[in-house]
Amino acid sequence: MSDSKKEISLGKRVFRILSGYEIAVVCLSLLFILTFFGTIEQKWFGLWSTIHKYFDIKSLYVLPTRGDGKPIFFPLPGAYWVIVVLGINMLCGAIIRARKGWKKFGVLLSHCAILFMLFAGAVSSVTKEEGHMRILQGEKSDYAQKLFKHEIEIFKYDENGDREPPAIVRSKHIKSLGPKKKLNATFEKFDFTLQVDHFLPVAELALASPSSPAPDGVEVVDGFFLVETEKNIQQEEANLPGCYVTVKDESGGTIQRLVLWAGNPYPVSFTHGGQRYGVTYLMEVWPMPFMVDLHRTFGEDHPGTNIPRWFQSDITKIDGDDGEQREDYKIVMNEPARHGGYTLYQAGYTKAAEGETPSSTFAVVKNPSDKWPEYALYASTIGLLIHFITMLFRFAGGSRPKKLKTTEPSVS
Amino acid sequence: MSANPLPNPDPESKALRWGLAIFFLLVLFALIAFGIRGVIPPTDVREVDAYSPWSEEVVEAASAIPVQDGGRIKPLATFARFKMLTFHGSLTMKVKSGGTVHKIGPVEWLLDCMFRPELVDNLPVFRLDDSDILKPFGIETKDRRARLSFKDIENGGDADEDGFQKLINRGRDLLQQREELGEDSLSPNEKKTVEFAQLVLNYTGIRDSFDILRGGLPELDPKQLAYVDEAVLEMLDKVSDPSRFSYWMPVVDRVIASTRRLETPEAREFEYELNRQLTFAKYGPVILPPQSKDEEEWTSLGNGMEKFLQGKLEEPTAMMKDFKALEDLGELSKKPNSEDFLKSLTAFKDDLRERAGSRDEGEKIDSEVSYYERNHFMHALIWFIAAFVVSAIGWIVREGKAGRIVGWITSILYVTGSAYLLAGIVHRFIITGRPPVSNLYDTIPFISAGAVIVLGISELLTRRRILLSVGAALGVMGLFFAFRFELGDAQDNMDPLRAVLDSNYWLATHVVTVTIGYCGGLVACFLSMVYVFLALAGVMKDPKAFHRFMTRAVYGITCFTLLFALVGTVLGGIWANDSWGRFWGWDPKENGALLIVLWCLIILHCRLAGWMKGWGLHLMSILGGSVVVFSWWGVNMLEVGLHSYGFIKGASTVYYFYFATLIAFLVGVVAWAIEKFQPKQSRQTSPVIPKV
Amino acid sequence: MRNLVLLATAATLFAGCGEPEKSIHVTETRPITLHDRHYPGNLKDRPPLGWRRLPGTQFRLINYVTGKDDSVEVVMGETQGQVLENANRWLGQFGLTPLQSEEFLGKTEMLGRPAFIVEGKGTYNPGMGQGAKEGYAMIGIIRQSSSNIITLKMTGPVEEVEAQREALFEYTRSFTPIEDHFIETPTGEKPAETSGTPDY
């Protein structure tokens, strides 16, 4: 056999495998098992951790475990990658290789639509950004914060005591550290180094005192120390990380030792070279290209209950350098405001007790594939309907008993 | 049983096989029915002295009194119904008085609370599944599962403290422990104790909320008050009697201040009782409409009194009028079935209805009263039971005229049952004004209706009587489950929804579609169960045709399930995107729906690949029923995720269902194995059954 | 040969996994937002250069250390009660006689309102399980607003506190209410339903 024929055979062979029912059934079965265990485990480990374990792009393999850590199944490939393989299989098998024709139109359409939906999911997983914006009534905001990403920001104070734009050490560099690993960060804009160590993913900052001293082996910095706490599986946003940092000069000498905790709302500071710097560990700040003025936040409970009937925020979205573009929105539950690629959802509101100010919390999402699943749904519904109605008529026609005398089932 | 269970029926063993078939089917359905039925405590017809029932007219009048509860205006009958379910776990109570047994329903019981508290304490109102938890309080019961009266509880305890006080004090201590140390610090028995203590306390709140109407204030000479506050004497309501609250009502706050200054034992006793009545009056049903059209919150008697005393009412005289009307009612209730009492009650009800009507509230009260009175679902259940029984007769009756008559009767019974079921769903829709599936309870009758309709239509198309049998059985089981759930949940499922759910568009699209998907999965499961057992028994005249028909039916319904489950799941994602900003979050409820879609896809693709034919399809379909139930109920029991409004505890019935499907699956595997490995010779004589 | 290459690649790829330290060079930044204009109690302060800020706590809105070996502590808090009550509590920590009237306290100004100065020297007993500290001094400032008391207290060794006296009063004068979070209606008037400017 010639080399070119061997090549073609190999290619065809690979294509046949990729487009075959075997791959489809295996992928669907794996996805079924992964989804099942990925649901059960949420009982012990909470939504967030389980999602990351099973469905994250970085999870190449998964070992289902129960609450005490004992495995309950053998290792499985990560769900994200199973879906990728399934998508390839759909493309090769259900679209390229599949028989075309009017009789197959419904199935073809629905497969294309599902594939498009998976593609939308892939786009979303890579490009989607989401955060929360909390504003008190009568105030404004030009940023959101990402609840589950915590990063270290360092900035200089100017002569007026205002902050300059910070340098950001991203969450991905920090959260992979454990209590023993260290991270050395040098900066484009600063001449010192920051060394991060003793990272704890869920911690509290405690004040050392004679009555409650730090445990043995735990470092106390400025009278404070970090203590590891139990993870809150119901509310991932309540899990706040902490770490110790050392600011070092160019020769490696220590400028300042600090302890950082993501639950601290305000920065700590140090002085170097006649300048004052601030350091803070916080939920990632996501600057918005617009300002949101919250004029009014209000709602109603069902009478005689604490169950919210509806709540609404009246906002003005301000764009442009001089704030000349102003647009008013009413954001209500189930009716978000969409504009310029950003969507604002009414995620919650806080009624105010007397003397306090009510507030609204908006979920802010930037997702280019926001509407794609909806379009895919319409297409796949049409495709499935066409296909199954055809099958229904074929079934009904073939299922009537051929002899009118005998009616099934009967045993006489 | 013969070595080859699937050959042509041998006339000599036909009866045995039929018996086996019916036996297995009944075992299976009994398992499920047992799980649904739950545990019923022993009935205890309590002897209660001098109990006289309320007349029908009084009950009818009281039923339609408007009450604001759970965020909406509902009839007193509904309020009473769910209160009684909370305490009693059932909608009737039986007592014996003077040799006659009386049945007490929710409205009667609430009327007893309001007007005859001396009787209500003797009624066996509390249902307890594990009365061992009461032993530490000196409260003894005959059986572990018991129904107790308040008096039974009170009579426990010891010389220092009665049983009620002991129970409440222990409950408070455990609650504090739970707050300080967390839920896990309590043992299961301690959790039950806390729950029961809260229940008993709630009961006393309702019972005592009408003490304020009954007078019974201790004696206090009003002239005594004049010593400390001369003006008080002039301001009292002289029309009333000093034992009645209305006498003191115009100046209650000054009266209380004066009694404190008097410092005599009579004054202290009077002040205590006055305060007690005022406090407890807040716990009764909320029956007084607001005086201002701008306000939405109605008030209970106690909260109305509080506003009156604080000068917050626009029309304080109207409040006095309402109060006096209720006081008069309380007085007249001493002759509960007298014309005067009925007249007064009806007048009070009509006045409240008119005031509610002027605010465009309470228009559906009569409809709701009639909904519960007509009890469409109970009628449907009875008709479906009849349809199932008659259809079962049809399995055995010869063909011909008798067979046709049986068939017609089955169809009529089936259609009547379906009509009642649909009537109930439509009636609920009319009352609530929202799509027919908006909470967990709604899914049960809806799925039952979907199943009976799908199978009914399939029967029309195919004329296979087996489908009506399965449909009737599903109707029976579904409705039993609906009753069981309502009793256990004891929540009014017509109450308005929270903001995130309150979208008729999404309720009508996503929720209805997904629920239809659940329905399809369950229908396929039950059809396959039937197939497996009947095929094993080998009772079909033409097994090949039966196999072909059932396989195609199950396959078709699987496709139907896939369509609705997929569309419903994606619609849910679109709704979630509009509510929470993300299409898919791997939330347990979302995952549950996805599992159904994946299961159907696996079945379809295996068939397309030629790996799965008849037996395989049926076995997978049976397990698919468990997947559906896991998605429908199991994920709610995890109590994790954003769909927190669906969380439930217990619901152990689902485990019985998983067990039943497992048994059916194993039986199917055995049957398939027997068929596969039967000797070649007998295979030649037996009908060709396609392999897995 | 192919196997050797694969092995080497794998080794390189996994080489980083077990390293105890990793290094990055940070270039990422972001524009300034209103988040950077958040201050405790909506009060922006400008501390002297030598003052280092520590994490705040429930009772310490703002917390600085300065001086030799960070021995001087400056704490700002918000509390309830009366000026005299708080002043006497501080004096009590130095074992000093409580005062009968605010008239005996020094006067200054903070955020446009009169404030009182409390001073003490001697052995400092901060309480809360902490031991006594000899040779300590305190300069405190208490300001009453309509709803609460703002306190600013500096403690430390006598010489260190004295050295920071001027810096403390300059710091007191540096407080500025932050108002740029608040909105105006399109007409330029403050809407009736907004929270309005905080009352200081």
Q: Please give the ipTM for the structure prediction.
A: 0.85
The whole-angstrom distance between residue B355's C-alpha and the CA centroid of its chain comes to 31
Select from A98, A119, A134 the last residue of a domain.
Answer: A98
Is residue B72 predicted with pLDDT exceeding 80?
Answer: yes
**Residues A322-359: b if buried by 16+ CB within 10 A, e if exposed:** eeeeeeebebbbbebbeeeebbbbbbebbeeeeeebbb
* Domain ranges, ordered by start, for chain B: 1-38+504-692, 66-210, 212-283+290-336, 365-496
CA dist., res. B127 & res. B46, Å (int):
13
Predicted local distance difference test score (pLDDT) of residue B9: 46
Residue A18 distance to chain C (closest CA, Å): 25
Contact check, Cβ <8 Å, B466/A408: yes
For residue B394 the two structure tokens come to 């049809």
Question: Residue B111: CB partners within 8 Å, gap ≥ 6?
Answer: B54, B58, B59, B62, B336
Side-chain-side CA neighbours of residue B309 (13 Å): 19
Question: Does A377 contact chain C (CB < 8 Å)?
Answer: no
The whole-angstrom distance between residue A291's C-alpha and the CA centroid of its chain comes to 24
Predicted local distance difference test score (pLDDT) of residue B181: 84
Question: Does A184 contact chain C (CB < 8 Å)?
Answer: yes
Q: What long-range pairs does B137-143 form, CB within 8 A, spacing at least 24?
A: B137/B163, B137/B166, B137/B167, B137/B170, B138/B163, B138/B166, B139/B163, B139/B167, B142/B42, B142/B44, B143/B41, B143/B42
Predicted local distance difference test score (pLDDT) of residue B410: 93
CA dist., res. A70 & res. C154, Å (int):
55
Phi, psi angle pair for A187, to nearest 5°:
-125, 145
Please identify which residue in the block is written with the tokens 């002043």: C87
Range of the domain at A48: 2-98
Question: Does B562 contact chain A (CB < 8 Å)?
Answer: yes
Judged by phi (left if over 0) then psi (alpha if -120 to 50, else beta), residue C70 lies in left
* Domain ranges, ordered by start, for chain C: 35-177
Select from A286, A319, A346 the last residue of a domain.
Answer: A286
Predicted local distance difference test score (pLDDT) of residue B678: 72
Question: Does A301 contact chain B (CB < 8 Å)?
Answer: yes
A402 band by pLDDT with thresholds 50, 70 and 90: low
Better pLDDT: B419 or B615: B419
Cis peptide leading into A409, omega within 30 of 0? Answer: yes
Is residue B8 predicted with pLDDT exceeding 90?
Answer: no
DSSP A214: P
Residue A113, domain member (yes or no): no
Contact check, Cβ <8 Å, A222/C44: no
Question: Does B72 contact chain A (CB < 8 Å)?
Answer: yes
B260 band by pLDDT with thresholds 50, 70 and 90: confident
What residues of A are in contact with residue B562 (Cβ under 8 Å)? 384
The sign of the torsion formed by the CA atoms of B175, B181, B187, B188 equals: positive
Of the candidates B174, B184, C117, the residue with the CA atom closest to the CA atom of residue A230: B184
Question: Does C198 contact chain A (CB < 8 Å)?
Answer: no
For residue A253 the two structure tokens come to 């000498």
Give the three-class secondary structure for A410. coil
CA dist., res. A344 & res. A129, Å (int):
12
For residue C64 the two structure tokens come to 């600085």
For residue A294 the two structure tokens come to 């919250």
CA dist., res. A185 & res. B288, Å (int):
68
Is residue A314 predicted with pLDDT exceeding 70?
Answer: yes
Secondary structure of B28-80 as H, E, C letters:
HHHHHHHHHHCCCCCCCCEECCCCCCCCHHHHHHHHCCEEEECCEEEEHHHHH
C-alpha Rg value of chain A to the nearest Å: 29
For residue B673, CA distances in Å to B2, B4, B526, B666, B676 come to 15, 11, 21, 10, 5
Of B462, B546, B595, the CB nearest to A32: B595
CA dist., res. B392 & res. B160, Å (int):
63
Chain C: residue nearest A157 by CA? C46
Contact check, Cβ <8 Å, B579/A334: yes
Of the candidates A391, A385, A393, the residue with the CA atom closest to the CA atom of residue A113: A385
| Tally of CB atoms within 10 A around A163 | 18
Q: Which of A278-282, B123-127, B149-153, B218-222 has the highest mean pLDDT?
A: A278-282
Residue A14, domain member (yes or no): yes
Mean pLDDT over B468-478 rounds to 90
CA dist., res. C142 & res. C110, Å (int):
9
Instruction: Report the range of poorest mean pLDDT among A403-412, B119-128, B351-360, B456-465.
Output: A403-412
Residue B577 distance to chain A (closest CA, Å): 8
Restricting to A residues 316-375, those with a Cβ less than 8 Å away from any Cβ of C are 316, 326, 357
CA dist., res. B342 & res. B346, Å (int):
6
Contact check, Cβ <8 Å, B297/A373: no
User: Strand runs (DSSP E) across B348-492, as ranges?
Assistant: none
Contact check, Cβ <8 Å, A294/C183: yes
Contact check, Cβ <8 Å, B462/A381: no
How many beta-carbon contacts under 8 Å exist across A and B?
Answer: 219
Residue A313 distance to chain C (closest CA, Å): 13
pTM for this model (two decimals) = 0.84
Rounded percentage of chain B residues whose pLDDT exceeds 70? 89
For residue B523 the two structure tokens come to 């229908």
Restricting to A residues 87-106, those with a Cβ less than 8 Å away from any Cβ of B are none
What residues of A are in contact with residue C34 (Cβ under 8 Å)? 140-143
Of C36, C55, C131, the CB nearest to A268: C55
Better pLDDT: A397 or B74: B74
Residue C167 distance to chain A (closest CA, Å): 15
Chain A: residue nearest B579 by CA? A334
Is residue C16 predicted with pLDDT exceeding 70?
Answer: no
Question: Does A121 contact chain B (CB < 8 Å)?
Answer: yes
For residue B157, CA distances in Å to B125, B165, B166 come to 19, 8, 7
Best mutation target, B79, B294, B462, to test chain A (most A CBs within 10 A) = B462
Chains contacting chain B through 3 or more C-beta pairs under 8 A: A
Predicted local distance difference test score (pLDDT) of residue A404: 44
For residue B142, CA distances in Å to A310, B147, B155, B232, C50 come to 50, 10, 15, 55, 80
Restricting to A residues 390-409, those with a Cβ less than 8 Å away from any Cβ of B are 391-392, 395-396, 398-401, 405-409
CA dist., res. C70 & res. C83, Å (int):
28
Span A237-272, pLDDT tens digits: 889 999 999 999 989 899 999 999 999 989 999 999
Contact check, Cβ <8 Å, A406/B591: no
Q: Do chains A and B touch (3 or more CB pairs under 8 A)?
A: yes
Confirm if B448 and B384 have CB atoms less than 8 A apart.
Answer: no
DSSP B645: G
Better pLDDT: B132 or B3: B132
Q: Which CATH architecture best describes the domain B365-496?
A: Up-down Bundle (1.20)
Q: Which CATH superfamily is domain C35-177 in?
A: Mog1/PsbP, alpha/beta/alpha sandwich (3.40.1000.10)
Question: Does A294 contact chain C (CB < 8 Å)?
Answer: yes
Of the candidates C123, C63, C61, C67, the residue with the CA atom closest to the CA atom of residue C91: C123
Contact check, Cβ <8 Å, B570/A24: no
User: Do A160 and A281 sit in the same domain of this protein?
Assistant: yes
Q: Per DSSP, what are the bridge partners of residue A316?
A: A293, A328
Phi, psi angle pair for B116, to nearest 5°:
-135, 60
Report chain C's terminal Cα–Cα distance, integer Å. Answer: 78
Angle between helices B106-115 and B76-88 (to 10 degrees): 90
CA dist., res. A392 & res. A408, Å (int):
20
Q: How many domains does chain A have?
A: 2
Q: Which of A159-173, B391-405, B497-511, B673-687 has the highest mean pLDDT?
A: A159-173
Chains contacting chain A through 3 or more C-beta pairs under 8 A: B, C
Predicted local distance difference test score (pLDDT) of residue B689: 41
10 Å CB burial of residue C128 (0-12, 13-18, 19+) is exposed
Span A146-168, pLDDT tens digits: 999 999 999 999 988 999 999 99
Confirm if A222 and C65 have CB atoms less than 8 A apart.
Answer: yes
| Tally of CB atoms within 10 A around A45 | 19
What residues of C are in contact with residue A141 (Cβ under 8 Å)? 34, 181
Confirm if A297 and A360 have CB atoms less than 8 A apart.
Answer: yes
Question: Does B658 contact chain A (CB < 8 Å)?
Answer: no
Chain A: residue nearest B593 by CA? A35
Chain C: residue nearest A193 by CA? C25
What residues of C are in contact with residue A222 (Cβ under 8 Å)? 54-55, 65, 70
Contact check, Cβ <8 Å, A143/C193: no
Residue A359 distance to chain B (closest CA, Å): 17
Predicted local distance difference test score (pLDDT) of residue C5: 54
Is residue A408 predicted with pLDDT exceeding 50?
Answer: no
Q: Which of A91-100, B301-310, B414-423 has the highest mean pLDDT?
A: B414-423
Residue A183 distance to chain B (closest CA, Å): 32
> What is chain B's percent helix, strand, coil content, to nearest 5?
70, 5, 25
Amino acid A328 reads D
Question: Does A49 contact chain C (CB < 8 Å)?
Answer: no
Q: Do chains C and B touch (3 or more CB pairs under 8 A)?
A: no
CA dist., res. B497 & res. A39, Å (int):
26
Question: Does C196 contact chain A (CB < 8 Å)?
Answer: yes
Predicted local distance difference test score (pLDDT) of residue C3: 56
Of the candidates A108, A97, A112, A110, the residue with the CA atom closest to the CA atom of residue A21: A97
Is residue B15 predicted with pLDDT exceeding 50?
Answer: yes
Contact check, Cβ <8 Å, C174/A161: yes
Question: Does B587 contact chain A (CB < 8 Å)?
Answer: yes
Contact check, Cβ <8 Å, B570/A376: yes
Is residue A81 predicted with pLDDT exceeding 80?
Answer: yes
Phi, psi angle pair for A254, to nearest 5°:
-80, 125
The sign of the torsion formed by the CA atoms of C97, C103, C104, C107 equals: positive
Contact check, Cβ <8 Å, B461/A399: yes
CA dist., res. B685 & res. C22, Å (int):
76
| Tally of CB atoms within 10 A around B555 | 20
User: Do A94 and A186 sit in the same domain of this protein?
Assistant: no
DSSP letters along A296-358, please?
EEEEEEPTTSSSEEEEEEEEEEEESTTS-EEEEEEEETTB-EEETTEEEEEEEEEPPPTTS--
Of A180, A188, A265, the CB nearest to C27: A188
CA dist., res. A358 & res. A298, Å (int):
8
CA dist., res. B629 & res. B655, Å (int):
10
Secondary structure of C109-169 as H, E, C letters:
EECCEEEEEEEEEEEECCECCECCEEEEEEEEEEEECCCCEEEEEEEEEHHHHHHCHHHHH
What residues of C are in contact with residue A223 (Cβ under 8 Å)? 54
C198 band by pLDDT with thresholds 50, 70 and 90: very low
C172 band by pLDDT with thresholds 50, 70 and 90: very high
Question: Does A271 contact chain C (CB < 8 Å)?
Answer: yes
Residue B686 distance to chain A (closest CA, Å): 16
